[in-house]
Amino acid sequence: MQLSRKVNIAILGATGAVGQELLELLTEREFPLNNLKLLASSRSAGNKIVFQGKELTVEAVSETSFEDVDIVLASAGGSTSKAWAQIAVNAGAVVIDNSSAFRMDDRVPLVVPEINPEAAAKHQGIIANPNCTTILMGVAIYPLHQVQPIKRVVVATYQSASGAGARAMAEAQTQARDILDGKQPQAEILPYPLAFNLFPHNSPLNDQGYCEEEMKMVNETRKIFNDDQIRVTATCVRVPILRAHSEAINLEFERPFEVNQAREIIAAAPGVKLVEDWQSNYFPMPIDATGQDPVLVGRIRQDISHKCGLELWLCGDQIRKGAALNAIQIAELLLEKNLLSVSNSAVSV
């Protein structure tokens, strides 16, 4: 995307997995960057990161960090975002936040550019990046929802170690080596060993038995689709994959949805790549989705238990489209539509 205006960017959480991916994407997408500031906690301050041939020093975030910053890309966790977002907005920046801190705040747009770009215009200084699993699912099924509204979604996710960060990925690798060497695997980042294992997502459970990750998919999908009537139920599972999440999705419509029409719609949709080789039984896999921008979608078929049902399978890079890429796309949208100025009063956090 060619954007004429150059802007000053700050990455809050620059040393994490998403922060590192943001740096790569700024270069890959030739983002119109004037100045880049790398921010993190005091324990990471002083680290050196090479960006576009220059060595940059990570700074400890402070009250003065956001002066002369146009956009803050925040990927440092909910408590950090709550602590610093308002300070950044007061300094004149727009915060694109990757945490769950503001997603369900009615005053904060929850944006996936392929789905609801118009929502970004309503920002009051903060725009929320949805949860990774919600983004991947939404990009895949919204094109169908536009043609015929979806009544109900039943989704099971198969979530890689990358969803818990770089340390969880490293831990899974160490566990795999230990098991192959006949040693007992140790778990510190995740509650149980992930190598050669899987378990329901480890986020807190509510009184109905749904974990926080599952409820994110329920509530965020309704907000992004601007449809409180759509029914969503999710089962989220941690699986021994290093990077890229997978999802098995069952959709129920009011009327039958012709399978070939669904394939044509998804094949033409933005942010999606249709991957289907029925003769070879070849469909999306995490190994193919890793490092890729599009969400890979395939195995689209009629639900044999319901005449108005469709089933599909997807894989998408959780760090990329599920986090960093979506944030960069929002930043590009702000520049393209001239939405950096805050017309309304800022969100008070």
pLDDT of residue 239: 98
Give me the catalytic one of 123, 145, 201, 245. 245
Sequence-ordered list of residues with C-beta below 8 angstroms from that of 215, at least 6 positions apart, any chain: 206, 234
245 belongs to the catalytic site:
yes
Tokens of 274: 């249709």
Report residue 2's pLDDT band, with 50, 70 and 90 as the boundaries: low
- Please list the alpha-helical segments (H only) found in the chain: 17-28, 78-90, 132-147, 166-180, 212-225, 259-268, 286-289, 325-336
Domain 133-318 has CATH 3.30.1490.20: no
Residue pLDDT, tens place only, 86-117: 999 999 999 999 999 999 999 999 999 999 99
Q: Which CATH number fits domain 7-101+323-336: 3.40.50.720, 3.40.50.920, 2.160.10.10, 3.30.470.20?
A: 3.40.50.720
Q: State percent of the chain over pLDDT 70.
A: 97
Give me the catalytic one of 132, 145, 201, 315. 132
Report residue 342's pLDDT band, with 50, 70 and 90 as the boundaries: low
Instruction: Give the residue extent of every domain in the chain.
Output: 7-101+323-336, 133-318
pLDDT of residue 42: 87
132 belongs to the catalytic site:
yes
Asked if residue 256 lies in contact with residue 308, where contact means CB atoms within 8 angstroms, the answer is yes
